Amino acid sequence: MRSKYIKEAIDKLGPWYQRYEMEGQWTTDSKISGEDVWSDIRSLLNEDLHGSRILDIGSNAAYYSMMFGMEGAIVTAIEPDKKFFNQGKWTQYFFEEKHHQKFPVTLLNKSAEELNFKKMGEFDYILALSVIHYIKIEEQKRIVEKICKASNKIIVTTENDKITNSIGYYNSLFLEKEFYMIKKILGKMPIMRYGKLVKEDQYILKELEQTNERLSDLRL
């Protein structure tokens, strides 16, 4: 695939949040490397992912979904934002063209609130890196409960995920509460973040209303 064509597609579909390389062209100049994040995520998982069922909620440009798919995992990628969803469609096209094969990745332009978890069944892993705080406040607990019932292996970001740009900081503000909600529902069931298992006493409960007020301020 020609580099010029890739550059034109990246520019047309931008701006991008997920940063990764396409034949020498980068989707964005962010300091956060998708390749590095994927390496951290991959280090948590079983060696053979072939046939594993993955749910990627808030898949953004679907880079991680494609990384799972390349290893034979069966992925359902959910992205409510039409712009990011279209980036995901391009990402899938790019990697399938590059590797001359189709990957078992299904992209859906839906929100977490729209998902029928009962119909979808259980997953080996659920990727929910930075999604909970985008869900309507009144829906958050219900959705987290459903996520936790669909898998006992949930991968999320954490407040010390080394992300330093404004978007990363915005994401990180919610994370103590996000972990609390999941731990409260699951008890001692293991929750994974990229790097290590979450320890129960690492996270302090914060009022949901206060956290969302801080996030609202950053959205302005």
Q: What residue type is assigned to position 83 of the chain?
A: K
Taking only the tens place, the pLDDT of each residue in 55-80 is 999 999 999 999 999 999 999 999 99
Fold (CATH) for 3-219: Rossmann fold (3.40.50)
Which residue reads 């999320």 in tokens?
156
Taking only the tens place, the pLDDT of each residue in 28-37 is 987 778 888 8
61's tokens: 């440009």
What is the CB neighbour count within 10 angstroms for residue 35?
A: 11
Dmax over CA atoms of the chain, in Å, equals 51
Alpha carbon 186 to chain centroid, angstroms: 20
Q: Exposure string (b/e) for 166-184, b if CB count within 10 Å is 16 or more?
A: eebebbbbbbbbbbebbbe
> What band does 182 get if pLDDT is binned at 50, 70 and 90?
low
Top-confidence range, 80-84, 142-146, 182-186? 80-84
